[in-house]
């Protein structure tokens, strides 16, 4: 289904350009408000944000949009995306909005919408909201305009909720944990939740100034965390992204642990306890073949969805799975959250560290990954993947990897980039395949 404004994760772009303007935010508020106004009760929306400078502008515009169509607004201030999903459901709101561009630089921003059940909207719902965005606005009568207020207990509610994701007897006493919050939405709640469970917390990326979110810190820039973990002699490092819905871990030696290994660990522990549902795990086409082979040794399956945590979630719900995620660090644990939650996943990893008594480097090396290479090819326009010569090179590569590896080629949903990924048992073959395809795409672009 072609969509004009919504991408794979809401509406996102550079602030004050394209779709990411105050005017558009107001129209989104009006359209989403109209879509969710059902029945005679007072309707309400929960709005959260990360720490971007433009968050103030976007928040004000959304408030204007929602209140103008008769929806009351509850503002939480900076909180992780999963916290907004949680509060939407717990406060019986009609919808929730997160203002964030996740792991993108500060100059970008985005709008993510949640339904009253705390789940992201379906493609069909987003399509209808897009239609309403471009339709004439129906304003509420003066006496029915919505009210707006800020709440002060949102952080405490979320911290309490995430702590319930680990067993009551689990404590992190004796663990030294470096927590990198990317100067983002979790800068207050994540270190607090881990500290309250007993850990010695060394916090970094916790001084947001509006322009430093994801800047050299967080799950997409882990070099600083790797250095800090080793320098502090910490047991483990935790890296979140700007809106804290994804997690990357660093072991005590400073080595990075991606989402595939984290999923393998969590799924293994839950399988051992008989708590894993669906007979396996849902990931995306980007997850390593090594994860699929490892799960098979346990009699479990790896179901692959399109890239994007929304598609992982849809497959999880359809198949009755309770563990899913992405190699990039989105971890969806449906027993505890309705969307990816980096803090919940981090607590589960820390709990396993405590239970096992093993160092993180041993605990988190669950399987041997297959050599995998991902490269991005930027293009100016057109559709290079429809070029005949590109198609021919891709077909040859698929034949070459048949039986020993995989090839995934897809356009980015957020920027003019073709992502070329190959994996297989022979590293040299994988590198050669990716190089040939990238060269063909560049020549056609």
Active-site residues, by number, are 102
Q: How many residues does the chain have?
A: 445
The neighbouring-strand residues paired with 60 are: none
Are residues 161 and 196 in contact, defined by beta-carbon separation less than 8 angstroms? no
Could you give the C-alpha distances from 181 to 192, 235, 288, 332, 402, in angstroms and in order? Answer: 12, 17, 26, 19, 41
Count of C-beta atoms within a 10 Å radius of residue 35: 21
Residues with Cβ within 8 Å of residue 129, at least 6 apart in sequence: 6, 28, 31, 32, 35, 113, 121
Q: 186, 240 in Cβ contact below 8 A?
A: yes
Q: List Cβ neighbours of 5 (8 Å cut-off, separation of 6 or more).
A: 11, 19, 24, 28, 130, 133
Left, alpha or beta for 270 (phi > 0: left; psi -120 to 50: alpha)? alpha
Nearest to 323 by CA among 341, 343, 298: 341
What is the C-alpha separation between 268 and 146, in angstroms, rounded?
48
Query: Which residue has tokens 């989402």?
Result: 259
Cα 350 from Cα 400, distance rounded (Å): 41
For residue 65 the two structure tokens come to 């949009």
Residue 374 tokens read as: 């991902």
E strand or H helix at 423: strand 417-424
* Sign of the CA dihedral with 35 first, then 39, 40, and 46 last: negative
- CA dist 7 and 24 (Å) reads 15
CA 6, CA 35: separation in Å to the nearest integer? 15
Nearest of 253, 245, 239, 218 to residue 106 by alpha carbon: 218
């Amino acid at each position: 289904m072609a969509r004009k404004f919504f991408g794979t994760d809401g509406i996102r772009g550079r602030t004050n350009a394209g779709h990411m303007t105050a005017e558009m935010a107001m129209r989104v508020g009006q359209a989403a408000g109209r879509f969710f106004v059902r029945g005679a009760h007072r309707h309400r929306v929960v709005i959260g944000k990360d720490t971007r400078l433009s968050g103030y502008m976007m928040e004000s515009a959304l408030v204007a949009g929602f209140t103008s169509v008769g929806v009351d607004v509850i503002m939480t201030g900076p909180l992780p995306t999963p916290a907004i999903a949680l509060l939407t459901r717990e406060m019986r709101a009609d919808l929730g909005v997160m203002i964030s561009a996740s792991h993108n630089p500060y100059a970008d921003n985005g709008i993510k919408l949640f339904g009253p059940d705390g789940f992201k909207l379906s493609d069909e719902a987003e399509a209808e909201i897009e239609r309403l965005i471009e339709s004439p606005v129906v304003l509420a009568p003066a006496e029915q305009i919505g009210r707006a207020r800020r709440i002060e207990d949102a952080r405490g509610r979320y911290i309490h909720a995430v702590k319930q994701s680990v067993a009551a007897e689990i404590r992190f006493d004796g663990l030294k944990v470096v927590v990198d919050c990317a100067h983002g939405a979790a800068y207050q709640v994540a270190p607090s939740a881990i500290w309250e469970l007993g850990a010695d917390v060394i916090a970094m990326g916790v001084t947001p100034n509006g322009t430093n979110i994801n800047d050299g810190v967080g799950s997409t820039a882990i070099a600083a965390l790797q250095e800090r973990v080793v320098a502090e002699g910490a047991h483990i490092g935790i890296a979140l992204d700007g809106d804290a819905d994804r997690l990357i871990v660093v072991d005590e030696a400073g080595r990075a642990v991606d989402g595939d290994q984290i999923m393998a660990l969590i799924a293994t522990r839950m399988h051992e306890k008989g708590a894993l549902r669906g007979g396996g795990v849902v990931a995306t086409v980007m997850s390593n073949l090594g994860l699929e082979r490892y799960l098979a040794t346990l009699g479990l399956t790896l179901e692959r969805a399109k890239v994007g945590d929304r598609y992982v979630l849809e497959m999880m719900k359809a198949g009755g799975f309770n563990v899913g995620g992405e190699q990039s660090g989105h971890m969806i644990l449906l027993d505890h959250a309705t969307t990816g939650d980096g803090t919940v996943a981090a607590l589960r990893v820390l709990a396993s560290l405590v239970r096992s008594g093993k160092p993180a480097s041993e605990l988190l090396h669950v399987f041997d990954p297959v050599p995998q290479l991902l490269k991005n090819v930027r293009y100016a326009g057109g559709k290079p993947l429809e070029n005949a010569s590109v198609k021919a090179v891709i077909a040859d590569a698929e034949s070459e990897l048949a039986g020993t590896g995989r090839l995934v080629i897809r356009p980015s949903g957020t920027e003019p980039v073709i992502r070329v990924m190959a994996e297989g048992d022979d590293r040299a073959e994988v590198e050669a395949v990716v190089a040939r395809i990238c060269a063909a795409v560049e020549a056609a672009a």
